[in-house]
Amino acid sequence: MDLLVHLPLLACSLLLFPLTMTVGREIAADACASQITGFQHLNSTGLHLTLHHPQSPCSPAPLPKDLPFSAVIAHDAGRISRLTTKNPSRHPTSLHLGNKHVGSQVADSLAVTVPLTPGASVGVGNYVTRLGLGTPTTSYAMVVDTGSSLTWLQCSPCVVSCHQQTGQLYDPRVSSTYASMPCSSAQCSELQAATLNPSTCSKSNVCIYQASYGDGSFSIGYLSKDTVSLGSSSFPGFVYGCGQDNEGLFGQSAGLIGLARNKLSLLYQLAPSSGSSFSYCLPTSASAGYLSIGSYNPGQYLYTPMISSSLDTSLYFINIAGMSVGGNRLAVSSSEYSSLPTIIDSGTVITRLPTAVYTALSKALVASMGGTPRAPAYSILDTCFKGQVSKLHVPAVDLAFAGGATLKLQPGNVLIDVDDSTTCLAFAATDDTAIIGNTQQQTFSVVYDIAQSRIGFTAGGCS
């Protein structure tokens, strides 16, 4: 079906049709949902959501159980291509079309179809939570992404395509607080900065967004607003994307929550009432963590400055100051750590380091792992051992940032099991943008304080 031909008609029906259906509610699995209580680093006054590892049995949007780890890594590479500093078409103002063609006058300005990379997805590495939307409120399983700004979810009637999701689709026709956003709205003008794609306008004057991701996944639909609910707090007029064409492997999630630095991100929209900070603990697949918007306990963290970069003003840049293995600093000059811009990202699985730093890290780890038998390289991971991380003696690895904040990495932050008998150093080399990925952040509390331009870390966050 052709999205563009149907958009104006659909937009009218969204606005004119009365409520005709009632909304069924999702009931979260009690055992998993109750884990939000008791995290020691949570400030009692913030808004808190339970966060799940994409492969946790408690995740409301689990990935396929047989998803090979190599597919996760393939996704990682795609995600990074979006951030690449060397690719001149990093801002995809003209996305290349597959064979899905758009006709009509509206289409001229929406001549966009995004290439699909089968098996790769923005959702594969991202953590999952539940967010309420609409009146009455229904909760949806959403991936959380610090690397993008616009929140969107699949939206009935899915004019072109919706992937399979956990629970029912969001249906704007049954929410009494839904409204579409006109093309003249300030939020529509903000889309270029939020999505790096231009907005377009339907014949009935509804603003159309295009959210695309480095791995080829995308969502296209109406810019809309409705009441968003986090726990027991509600916020009217939250602006998000009502996705009519959602393609890629987003797991079973309904959509994505954008937490990057842009006016349209969930963070900025809630900031006037909640404060411009958020914190999270990314759990392992065997535990639960949290996402908290607003207040945090400032005394518990060690901080590094949050840096703005013209490479992408919506991403969170920080500076690495040094690394050590078993208490010994890596044999690399300290200028190597800052030889590339570095971002911290919730959705990248494997940390990327400047090549010289990575090479020194790999050497130092192999030396200190002594006689542990080596295993062949696995995908981009070239420092592998026979065995499982839980059974091996892994040296202490420290990752220090400018200003003194340090991640004292646990064995599970250093090595990642890629199959039943192989574990690999969960870092890789890059000569492009360095990235602090989510394997290294797991079980730490990380706070992003935009008002004070700082990012803080503290250990033991998921307990």
Per CB under 6 A, residues contacting ligand NAG are 43, 45, 295, 297-299
Three-state DSSP string of 25-89: CCCCCHHHHHHHCCCCCCCCCCEEEEEECCCCCCCCCCCCCCCCHHHHHHHHHHHHHHHCCCCCC
Q: How far is the CB of 74 from ligand NAG (least distance, A)?
A: 40
CB atoms within 10 A of CB 108: 11
| Cβ(11)–Cβ(202) below 8 Å | yes
Instruction: Point out the catalytic residue in the list 145, 171, 215, 312.
Output: 145
CB of 52 to ligand NAG, least distance (A): 25
30 is an active site residue: no
Least distance to ligand NAG, CB of residue 19, Å:
39
Strand partners, 285: none
Q: Which is nearer to ligand NAG, 140 or 278 (CB)?
A: 278
Under the phi-then-psi rule, with left for phi > 0, alpha for psi from -120 to 50, and beta for the rest, what region is 158? Answer: left
Nearer to ligand NAG, 299 or 376 (CB): 299
Nearest approach, Cβ of residue 279 and ligand NAG (Å):
11
What residues have CB less than 8 Å from 201, skipping those under 6 apart? 106, 109, 183, 188, 207, 208
Which residue number, 272 or 299, has a Cβ lying nearer to ligand NAG?
Answer: 299
- Contacts of residue 170, Cβ cutoff 8 Å, sequence gap at least 6: 133, 134, 138, 140, 153, 154, 155, 156, 242, 254
Spatial separation of the C-alpha atoms in residues 447 and 283, rounded to whole Å: 15
Peptide bond into 136 cis (omega under 30): yes
Nearer to ligand NAG, 296 or 316 (CB): 296
**Least distance in Å: CB of 277 to ligand NAG?**
8
Residue 450 CB, nearest approach to ligand NAG (Å): 13
Q: Mark whether 345 is an active-site residue.
A: yes
Provide, rounded to whole angstroms, the least separation between the CB of residue 300 and ligand NAG. 7
Residue 335 backbone class (left: φ over 0; alpha: ψ -120 to 50; beta: rest): alpha
Contact 249, 124 (CB under 8 A): yes
From the list 171, 215, 312, 345, the catalytic residue is: 345
C-alpha span between 303 and 30 (Å, rounded): 35
Closest to 186 measured CA to CA, from 199, 168, 170 = 199
For residue 256, which of 393, 153, 347, 172 has the smallest C-alpha distance?
Answer: 153
3-class secondary-structure state, position 278: strand
Nearer to ligand NAG, 45 or 334 (CB): 45
Peptide bond preceding 157: is omega within 30 degrees of 0, i.e. cis?
yes
Q: Which is nearer to ligand NAG, 295 or 355 (CB)?
A: 295
User: With respect to ligand NAG, which residue has the nearer C-beta, 63 or 271?
Assistant: 271
Active-site residue set = 145, 345
